Structure 1
Amino acid sequence: MTAPTPSRRRHRALTALAAGGALLAVLTTTHGAVAEPAGPHRPSVRQWATDATTTGARLEAPVPLTTATGPADTTVRVNPGLRFQKLTGFGASLTDSSAAVLYRMKKSERSALMRQLFSPTEGIGLSTLRQPIGASDFATKGYSFDEVPAGRTDYGLRHFSLDHDTRRILPLLREAKALNPRLTVIASPWSPPSWMKTEGSMIDGKLIDKPAVYDAYARYLVKFVQGYEKAGVPVDYLTVQNEPQALLRADYPGTDLPVAQEARVIERLGAALRAAGLRTKILGFDHNWAEHPFDAKAHTDIGEDPEPDYPYDLLSTRAARWIAGTAYHCYYGDPRAQSALKASFPDKDVFETECSGGGASRTIGAMNNWARSMVFWNLALDEKHGPHTGGCTGCDGAVTIDSTTAAVTRTAHYYTLAHFSRFTRPGATRIAASVLPAEGDTSPLQATAFRNPDGSTALVVLNPDPEKPRTATLTAPGVRETTTVAPGATVTYTW
């Protein structure tokens, strides 16, 4: 292991934090997501609430603002004049497993659910999807798009085929795109084809360190993008490896891809995308805010540098000219790592591309630290958290589809996403939202705010305390309201 220099230590992701998500229960489901200002002088503030104390209730309209009297515990100030990143949006991953459970439904019922998920006017308006390139841990089987018998190679990619995705995944993606034409697609591979790997398997191992393999892998990814575009699903962003610091993934596809190897792939991929006339942008890294100790130990145990400053090191290579931004996951570390990276590379974007179980707290944290997206993991799973080939055995989808009855249950993930996706639009800008809690408040409110292209504002507030309500005075130009936020509640205010 190479000891990090003092400058690298300064840039390292901040203190690891196991931030728990708030208990979520219900969200109002009124159609017509974005509130219009009532007038130029005194906007009418509306609120939509998911209250942890009312599990099972279903509100069908925005509830009246819960007004409070007397001094407030907290002041939440929104300043639309201070602007940050533009959003691509919020969403999940339409994995092979998600497609499988969606196709258990009757076509009419599946279409109705897709409208509820993706339509900005009839549903919650999900606007970003992250698509695995080949199998992930949530797949019905292991597969890539260019597998050949063991011991053989296919540098010419003569066996490349997207047949697996044409059956269910691509039709669903086209449907989602039709429902929300501003849908952003981010694609990520869990592994190159087996014949490109040191172990001859999609499970674990490394990419073979040969120029011919780097060239073939770059062309493989280009063919994927071309095939998806031809099928009516343009790929907006592309990463070259999901969780590249992952070692010892024993039961599902994964690849340990060091910085130097990722840079070599990206240099070839960037040039190949340009030569093919494709506008797909490349994102680097695609892993946690900080390196998980399990992954770091796995590398040090075999005498390798765990590369704790991976995103910084990657953006310091020649490949950086092809990299539009950095993709992060929420499973370990602190979202402030995103702001630290942004400060060092201000011309590079930040995306949150995978999160399961993070809830509103991590979503607010990601947004307040420059993320242009928040993508939860599976869009849909069954009641056994599957089907899957390995990895996470307790992950939830945004919806659960019963394997026997095909009944749909909306999970906490669904309601968390809805608090954001329903009230923001792609192209919305995050604006300043500061929280001033009472002295001694050990569990203060959390907040983030957005200005939509039509001029409307959405403010999302979380009370992380499961027992104590908070009173808050909301202030913005033309707005001053004192309201109560219930214990454990997530509330979206619009004006």
Structure 2
Amino acid sequence: MHNTKLLSDAVEVWWSSEVDPGKLKWFEGPRDIPYRLSRQPDIALTVPQETETTRITITPSHAGQQILGMGTSMEDTTISNLARMSPARREEVLRLLVDEESGIGLNLIRITLGTSDFTGQAFYTYNDMPEGVTDFEQRYFSIKKDVELGIVETVQQLTALAPQVRIFASSWSPPAWMKTSGSLKRGSLKEGPEYTAALAKYYRLAIQAYQEHGIPIYAMTLQNEPLFETDYPSCYMPPERQRELAVALRQELDQHGLETKIWIFDHNFSDAWAYVTPILNDAAGCGAVDGIALHDYEGSPEVMSEIHAAYPDKPIYLTERSLWGTAGADRMAQYFRNYACSYNAWVTMLDSNISPHQWLGTPGPTMMIQDAADADNYWIIPEYYLLGQYTRFVKPGAYRVASDYGSKETVTNVVFRNPGGELVAVMINQSDAEQEFCVLCEGRQWLAKLPAKTVGTYRWRAGAGTVTG
């Protein structure tokens, strides 16, 4: 890979291409990928002139939301596969994920509090009790299993390699003794303020336990997919109950001097309005909440723009959705164009047997795939590089700026202004043909061609540079 420091006043260019996006054949072994964050010749900035090519206008003075970060998850599936590797190989993989020069600079990582469906373990939480036994005092609370399984160590190693990384956490289920089902599967939090208080204390203890291991939890979502009950860790939690939980957790955090942010919902676009309004229209609920987490499995990204207009002081985070190919890169552009402040992929490394997991379907290929027969052998699929077209160049603290969206038949895009002042345009060609386009920005113009089924990232200094006629 090439150094990403901005070296000139020309437009710098990198390309990555899709190959069989989302196809299970990627589990069979590595394949040739035409462009892999491949540096291309710089493009000259020119004075504006007439052209018949697709024209994209960019207006950096019209800024949208500020970007928190982008990344993936370190759930047990990924961590158990990493644990099978030699220490050197494991570090190599982690560097590829988070290093800003030799890797793709991921800087926002999601972890699970207890197990999710992507695990090879028996489902557990941090306070599992025999049937019929409760522990409101949480005397038996412990993250010991996270330590034994190497989860804590892996996250420690990752943050040591990249101190800029922020960690946020999500729970798939409260302990079974708190639930109506008496199980980590299905059910809901039992009625009564004593159960709300118990779960708030449980979350606070988890945050403190990770902090004691040198891992600050930047934020947490109160319940993964709270409208979905299924036969793996899950818990139905209506918005009225989540509002009570947010208020109780905020009190716990404040009383113990913890700065972890509280993100509500953590579920699909389609149900967002009905869920967030009962929480945020309540004064206590609104005061307890720092942001809104969303998934993209049902509904449209445009709802984020609507919610941003309704609650402009509550940042929106896209906390779960794996994407494939140039269509996925375009979907990601739509997230940011609709006020998402972050993006997180879900599951980083499955093995070639599509293992381990206990999800109820067949997962698609992850950014990295481990050879089930040789743990130190792994291969990278195009989605790693396509995500890198964003993450290596768009820095935390960047602002999304206004631009024409373009079209699926030509090119689409999203543009950011980094804290250092440079502009970063991610251009996506989903079509079957090379596309030529022209960019107009701050009195300057540049022309480019982007191969079929390829994403291009273009970077240049805002408001500066030598203009040639």
Same fold (TM over 0.5): yes
Query: 2:57 maps to which residue?
Result: 77
Does 2:136 correspond to 1:151? no
For residues 369 and 50 of structure 2, the distance between their equivalents in structure 1, rounded to whole angstroms, comes to: 43
Q: Tell me which of 318, 332, 335 is aligned to 2:298.
A: 332
SS of alignment partner, residue 41 of structure 2: coil
Query: 1:457 maps to which residue?
Result: 423
Which digits, 9 at most, give the CA deviation of each residue in 1:266-325, with x for residues without a partner?
A: 11001110111000010010001114xxxxxxxxxxxxxxx9611223212331111111
For residues 174 and 349 of structure 1, the distance between their equivalents in structure 2, rounded to whole angstroms, comes to: 27
Query: 2:6 maps to which residue?
Result: 35
Residue pairs, 1:15-54, within 5 angstroms = 29-30=1-2, 32-36=3-7, 38=8, 43-52=9-18
Query: 1:483 maps to which residue?
Result: 448
SS of alignment partner, residue 70 of structure 2: strand
Q: How far is the alpha carbon of 1:231 from its aligned partner?
A: 0.5
For residues 239 and 222 of structure 1, the distance between their equivalents in structure 2, rounded to whole angstroms, comes to: 12
For residues 34 and 375 of structure 1, the distance between their equivalents in structure 2, rounded to whole angstroms, comes to: 25
Residue pair 1:378, 1:396 contacting (<8 A) in 2 also: no
Residue type of the partner of 2:299?
Answer: G
Quote the RMSD (CA, aligned, Å): 2.1
Query: 1:431 maps to which residue?
Result: 401
Does 2:204 correspond to 1:227? no
SS of alignment partner, residue 63 of structure 1: strand
Q: How far is the alpha carbon of 1:149 from its aligned partner?
A: 0.6
Identity of aligned residues (%): 30
Q: How far is the alpha carbon of 1:369 from its aligned partner?
A: 1.0
For residues 78 and 192 of structure 1, the distance between their equivalents in structure 2, rounded to whole angstroms, comes to: 47
Q: How far is the alpha carbon of 1:35 from its aligned partner?
A: 2.4
SS of alignment partner, residue 404 of structure 2: strand
Which digits, 9 at most, give the CA deviation of each residue in 1:374-424, with x for residues without a partner?
A: 000012211233211223422332211122112221123312220111012
Distance 1:89 1:105, change over 3 A: same
SS of alignment partner, residue 205 of structure 2: helix
Query: 2:353 maps to which residue?
Result: 384
Query: How many positions carry a matched residue from both structures?
Result: 439
For residues 387 and 38 of structure 2, the distance between their equivalents in structure 1, rounded to whole angstroms, comes to: 18
SS of alignment partner, residue 320 of structure 2: strand
TM-score norm. by structure 1 comes to 0.85
Residue pairs, 1:158-177, within 5 angstroms = 158-167=139-148, 168-177=150-159
For residues 406 and 139 of structure 2, the distance between their equivalents in structure 1, rounded to whole angstroms, comes to: 61
Query: 1:4 maps to which residue?
Result: none
SS of alignment partner, residue 360 of structure 2: coil
Q: How far is the alpha carbon of 1:366 from its aligned partner?
A: 0.7
Residue pairs, 1:5-20, within 5 angstroms = none
Query: 1:199 maps to which residue?
Result: 181
SS of alignment partner, residue 334 of structure 1: coil
Q: How far is the alpha carbon of 1:209 from its aligned partner?
A: 0.9
For residues 225 and 13 of structure 2, the distance between their equivalents in structure 1, rounded to whole angstroms, comes to: 38
Q: Tell me which of 196, 202, 226 is aligned to 1:244.
A: 226
TM-score norm. by structure 2 comes to 0.89
Residue pair 1:74, 1:435 contacting (<8 A) in 2 also: no
Q: How far is the alpha carbon of 1:352 from its aligned partner?
A: 0.5
Residue type of the partner of 2:193?
Answer: P
Distance 1:70 1:479, change over 3 A: closer
Residue pair 1:185, 1:234 contacting (<8 A) in 2 also: yes
Further displaced range: 56-65 or 209-218: 56-65
For residues 443 and 157 of structure 2, the distance between their equivalents in structure 1, rounded to whole angstroms, comes to: 40
Which digits, 9 at most, give the CA deviation of each residue in 1:182-236, with x for residues without a partner?
A: 2111111000001111010010111101111110000000000001111011001
Further displaced range: 112-121 or 141-150: 112-121
For residues 390 and 104 of structure 2, the distance between their equivalents in structure 1, rounded to whole angstroms, comes to: 9
Does 2:385 correspond to 1:415? yes
For residues 343 and 63 of structure 2, the distance between their equivalents in structure 1, rounded to whole angstroms, comes to: 18
Residue pair 1:207, 1:255 contacting (<8 A) in 2 also: yes
Does 2:338 correspond to 1:369? yes
For residues 209 and 115 of structure 2, the distance between their equivalents in structure 1, rounded to whole angstroms, comes to: 17
Residue pairs, 1:307-326, within 5 angstroms = 309-317=274-282, 318-326=284-292
Distance 1:34 1:421, change over 3 A: farther
Q: How far is the alpha carbon of 1:245 from its aligned partner?
A: 0.8
SS of alignment partner, residue 367 of structure 1: helix
Q: Tell me which of 70, 73, 79 is aligned to 1:90.
A: 70
For residues 187 and 120 of structure 1, the distance between their equivalents in structure 2, rounded to whole angstroms, comes to: 23
Residue pair 1:33, 1:124 contacting (<8 A) in 2 also: no
Query: 1:342 maps to which residue?
Result: 308
Query: 1:25 maps to which residue?
Result: none
Residue pairs, 1:116-155, within 5 angstroms = 116-141=96-121, 142-155=123-136
